[in-house]
């Protein structure tokens, strides 16, 4: 049997942690390995427990979830953080992604959606609540005085758009009728031009700076 996804909860409300713990126990592929009631506890626990995914509340007693996320990601790059909050604000969404969060979900999420969000985060796929995604789209269509291009060619912009849609190299290759090796080379060039080290960082930058037009 495949090892379950190790999950940690960071929330200052005991009743929320209890509820999430019960939820996690209902799935064989998800395992609760730790809890934290504040940011410092979350940072320390991540270093000690090395969970796969952290469910992070936005408002903690000693620091906000964005600050805690940034510290966790800096110290434990393999740990994925999903913001789980009641706050639906475009600045918070953007700041959370910039801090390294791979997901931003609202607390009215269903049990099945929560499980799928954790699985997606574990797999390195960004997941946003529809409301959060809409906020980013709204930000993207606002007038901007300067729109960076990073000197991307038309083909590179096309591939970047497909990356934003969540396609892997093989899927992109199939769609563009080129080899997987060709796509891999393009992706490497795109990341270099954008000054980022991962596809996730490229997606964040593309969304934040409206580099692609996704429909």
CA dist 9 to 1, 39, 77, 81, 117, Å? 24, 11, 17, 10, 14
> CATH number, domain at 170?
1.10.10.10
- Edge to edge, what strands does the sheet with 53-56 contain? 30-36, 5-10, 53-56, 80-85, 103-106, 127-128
In which domain, by residue range, is 78 found?
5-139
Q: Cβ(81)–Cβ(54) under 8 Å?
A: yes
Residues 103-156 have pLDDT tens digits of 999 988 888 999 999 999 999 998 888 888 787 777 666 555 455 778 888 899
The CA-based angle 23-26-29, given to 5 degrees, is: 105
Q: How far is CA 159 from the centre of its chain?
A: 20
Question: 35 and 124 share a domain?
Answer: yes
What confidence score (pLDDT) does residue 215 get?
46
Q: Answer yes or no: is 9 within a domain.
A: yes
Chosen domain end from 139, 169, 195: 139
Question: 198 and 114 share a domain?
Answer: no
Q: Answer yes or no: is 146 within a domain.
A: no
Q: Answer yes or no: is 97 within a domain.
A: yes
Question: 186 and 135 share a domain?
Answer: no
Question: 113 and 196 share a domain?
Answer: no
Half-sphere exposure of 88 (CA within 13 A, CB side): 14
Q: Answer yes or no: is 149 within a domain.
A: no
What confidence score (pLDDT) does residue 143 get?
53
Could you give the number of structural domains in the chain?
A: 2
Half-sphere exposure of 197 (CA within 13 A, CB side): 2
Q: Answer yes or no: is 215 within a domain.
A: no
Chosen domain end from 80, 111, 139: 139
Question: 160 and 132 share a domain?
Answer: no
> CATH number, domain at 91?
3.40.50.2300
Question: 133 and 181 share a domain?
Answer: no
Q: Answer yes or no: is 45 within a domain.
A: yes
Q: Answer yes or no: is 144 within a domain.
A: no
Question: 135 and 39 share a domain?
Answer: yes
Question: 59 and 132 share a domain?
Answer: yes
pTM exceeding the 0.75 threshold for the entire prediction = no
Residues 136, 124, 5, 12: is their CA dihedral positive or negative?
negative
Q: Which residues contact 63 (CB under 8 A, 6 or more apart)?
A: 38, 39, 40
What confidence score (pLDDT) does residue 140 get?
64
Query: Cα–Cα distance between 184 and 214 in angstroms, integer?
Result: 21
Question: 109 and 42 share a domain?
Answer: yes
What confidence score (pLDDT) does residue 146 get?
52
Question: 196 and 123 share a domain?
Answer: no
Q: Answer yes or no: is 51 within a domain.
A: yes
The CA-based angle 212-213-215, given to 5 degrees, is: 135
Residue spans of the chain under pLDDT 50: 145, 215
Query: Cα–Cα distance between 181 and 170 in angstroms, integer?
Result: 9
């Amino acid at each position: 049997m495949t090892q379950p996804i190790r999950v940690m909860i960071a929330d200052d409300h005991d009743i929320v942690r209890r509820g999430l713990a019960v939820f996690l126990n209902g799935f064989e592929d998800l395992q609760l390995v730790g809890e934290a009631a504040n940011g410092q506890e979350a940072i320390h626990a991540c270093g000690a427990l090395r969970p796969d995914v952290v469910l992070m509340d936005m408002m903690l007693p000693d620091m906000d979830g964005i600050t805690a996320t940034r510290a966790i990601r800096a110290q434990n790059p393999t740990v994925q953080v999903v913001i789980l909050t009641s706050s639906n604000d475009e600045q918070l969404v953007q700041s959370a992604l910039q801090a390294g969060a791979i997901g931003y979900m609202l607390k009215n999420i269903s049990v099945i959606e929560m499980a799928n969000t954790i699985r997606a985060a574990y797999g390195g796929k960004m997941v946003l609540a529809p409301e959060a995604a809409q906020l980013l789209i709204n930000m993207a269509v606002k007038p901007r005085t300067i729109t960076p291009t990073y000197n991307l060619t038309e083909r590179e912009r096309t591939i970047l758009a497909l990356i934003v849609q969540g396609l892997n190299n093989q899927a992109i290759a199939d769609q563009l009728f080129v080899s997987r090796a060709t796509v891999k080379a393009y992706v490497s060039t795109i990341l270099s031009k954008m000054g980022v080290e991962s596809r996730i960082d490229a997606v964040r930058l593309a969304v934040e700076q409206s580099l692609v037009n996704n429909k």
